[in-house]
Amino acid sequence: MSDNLLALVIIIVGAALTISGVIVLRRWRLGFRPLRGFAALTTLAGEAIESDRTVHVALGDAGVGRESTLTALAGSELLGFLAERAAIGERSPLATMSDPLGLAVAQDTLRATFARAEAPERYDSGAAVWVPGGPSSLAYGAGAANFAADRDASANVIVGRFGPEMAFIAEMGARRELVQIAGSDLVEGQAVAYVMTDMPLLGEEMFVGAAYLEKDPVQRGGVLAQDVLRYVMIALIVVGVVIATLTN
Amino acid sequence: MRRFRFPLGVSVTIAVGLVTLLGLTLGGPLLGTIAGVFINLALATAAMAVLAGVANLFIVHMRRVGSGARGWFYSLALVISMFGVIGARIFELTQAGDDHPALGSGAITGPLFTVLQLSIEGALSGLMAFFLIFAAARMMRRRVSAGAVLFIGVVILVLLGWQPLPLVGDVFGGVRDWIVNVPAAGGLRGILIGMALGALTVGVRVLVGRDQPYRG
C-alpha cells in the first residue's frame, strides 16, 4: 500500500471513529481527564474583563495553506472562545502572529465573534497584529512580547507554531506574573512551554480545546476517536517490537 | 439571503476539502489537476496576504505613533525602516537591470540582512539561553514535582555530556548519547504521533463541516 493510500485509509478510519465516538458519548457518560490550561481559560477571560485588561493570544507561525493549517485552526478556536467572552467587556483580545494568512484567520475570527455577539462596532482590526518573523522567528517572539507588555495583557495564551522564540513571550509573562497557557506543534516549543509556563499543553492537547470548552458532541467524539487511535498505535508498536525482536 | 450563506460556505469547504484530499491521495489526471489548482490558489492567496500584513503593520504602528503610546518611538523607527528597505529594494532592482537578485542577496539589501538582521537574531539567540536557565530555576521554585526534578536532572546530565573537558566529557558523553538516542528519541516520536492524531481529528471535523473557522 502506498503512503498516500495509507493516509487516506487513516483519515477514513479517523472519520468513522469520530462518528462512533459521538454515538458512544450519547449513550454513555464518559469523562475526559482534566486539562488545567482549558479549565483556566474561562477564569482568565473573566479576570481580564474585571480588570479591564486584554488577553494576549499568540499564534506564532501557524497559518492556513501550509502544514500548520490545523494548528492555526486550533489557535483560532481559542481566540474565538476568548473573544466571545471579551465581547461583554471593553477590550478585545490581542492576537499576534508571524504568518500573514494567520493574520487573516485571526481578524476574521475576531470580526465574526463580535458580529455574533451583536457588537460588530467593537471589532478592532488593530487587535490582530502581524509581527514578521524573519528566518528564525526570534524577531516575532521579541515583537509579540513587546506588544503584549505595551497593551498591559493580563494573560498569555500561546498556542500555535513556536520554536525557541516562545521563550521571549513566556519570559515577559513570567516577569509580569501573568497567567500563561502554552502549546506548540513543534517539540522545541513544547519544551519551552513545559519549562516556562504553569499550564503547558503538550502533544495533541492543543487540538482538543473545542471539545473541552464547547462540549460539542462531534468535538468530544473526535477526542474519543483520538484516544482509540492512540491505543491502536501503541498496540501496533508493541506488536512490531515483539515481532522484530523474535525474528532477529 | 443570510439563511443560505452559511450552508453554502460549509458545502463549498467540504467539497473543496474532499476533492483536494482525494486528489492528493489517489491522484489521477482529473482529481490531481483540480487539487493542484486549489493548492495554487492557496499559494497565490498567501502571497497576497503578505500585502495585507504589511498594511496591518503600518496601520498598527502608525496608531501607536499617533496616540503616543508607550514605545511609540520604536514603532516610528519600524515604519521608517520598512519604507527604507522597500525603497532600497526598488532602487536595487532598477539598478540591476534584467538580473533580479533575490531579496537579501542584492547590493543593498544583502548587507542590510547580513549586518543588521542576522546579527540581531544572533544576539537574541544568545539571550534565549539565559531565559531558559532562569526559567528552569524558576520552575523548581514554583513546582517541585517528580517530573520537574527529572527534567532538571536530565538537563544537567546532558549539559555535562557536552563539556569538552577530558574526564567529564568522557564519563557523561555516553550517558548523554543514550539519553538523546533512546528515551528522548522515543518520547519525541510518541509526541509526534500524538500530534498527528490530534491534527487528524481536527481535519476530520473540518471535513464534516463541524469546525467552521470561515463562518461569518
Domain ranges of chain A: 31-215
pLDDT value, residue A32: 82
B46:A115 CB<8 A: no
Tell me A243's DSSP state.
Answer: H
Name the architecture of domain A31-215: 3-Layer(aba) Sandwich (3.40)
B56:A130 CB<8 A: yes
Per cent of chain B over pLDDT 90 is 17
Residues with Cβ within 8 Å of A39's Cβ and at least 6 positions away in sequence, in order, are A212
Please count the other Cβ atoms lying within 10 Å of the Cβ belonging to residue B120: 14
Cβ contact A98:A61 at 8 Å: yes
Residue B6 pLDDT > 70: no
Q: pLDDT (tens digit, 9 = 90+) per residue, A101-159?
A: 889 889 999 999 999 888 888 888 889 999 987 666 888 999 999 999 988 999 999 99
Distance CA(A166)–CA(A144), nearest Å, equals: 10
Model ipTM value: 0.83
Q: pLDDT (tens digit, 9 = 90+) per residue, B46-78?
A: 888 888 899 999 999 999 999 988 888 999 999
Count CB pairs under 8 A between chains A and B. Answer: 194
Query: Which three cell numbers mark B96?
Result: 540591476
Cβ contacts (< 8 Å) between B42 and chain A: which residues?
A: 64-65
pLDDT value, residue A186: 92
* Amino acid, res. A18: T
- Indicate the helix (H) or strand (E) that contains A158: strand A153-161
Burial of B135 (0-12, 13-18, 19+ CB in 10 A): buried
pLDDT band at B2 (very low <50, low <70, confident <90, very high): very low
Min Cα distance A46 → chain B (Å) is 24
Please count the other Cβ atoms lying within 10 Å of the Cβ belonging to residue B77: 12
Per cent of chain A over pLDDT 90 is 42
pLDDT band at A217 (very low <50, low <70, confident <90, very high): confident
Lowest average pLDDT, out of A222-231, B54-63, B106-115, goes to B106-115
Residue A100 pLDDT > 80: yes
For the CA atoms of chain A, what is the radius of gyration?
Answer: 19
Query: Which three cell numbers mark B190?
Result: 510518541
Higher pLDDT, B170 or A196: A196
Q: What is the mean pLDDT of residues B195-212?
A: 81
Distance CA(A97)–CA(A148), nearest Å, equals: 12
Lowest average pLDDT, out of A24-33, A57-66, A89-98, goes to A24-33
Residue B98 pLDDT > 80: no
Alpha helix (H) ranges present in A28-61? 36-50
Q: Among B2, B155, B205, which would you mutate to test the A interface (most chain A Cβ atoms within 10 Å of its Cβ)?
A: B205
A207:B202 CB<8 A: yes
Cβ contact A192:A170 at 8 Å: yes
Lowest average pLDDT, out of A50-54, B1-5, B106-110, goes to B1-5
Q: pLDDT (tens digit, 9 = 90+) per residue, A148-192?
A: 998 899 999 999 999 999 999 999 999 999 999 999 999 999 999
Q: Which residue of B has its CA nearest to A137?
A: B121
CA nearest to A4, candidates B173, A12, B212, B153: A12
Cβ contacts (< 8 Å) between A135 and chain B: which residues?
A: 117, 121
Tell me A204's DSSP state.
Answer: G
Domain ranges of chain B: 1-60, 143-216
- Nearest CB among B43, B197, B215 relative to A230 is that of B197
pLDDT value, residue B4: 46
Q: What is the mean pLDDT of residues B20-35?
A: 85
Residue B14 pLDDT > 70: yes
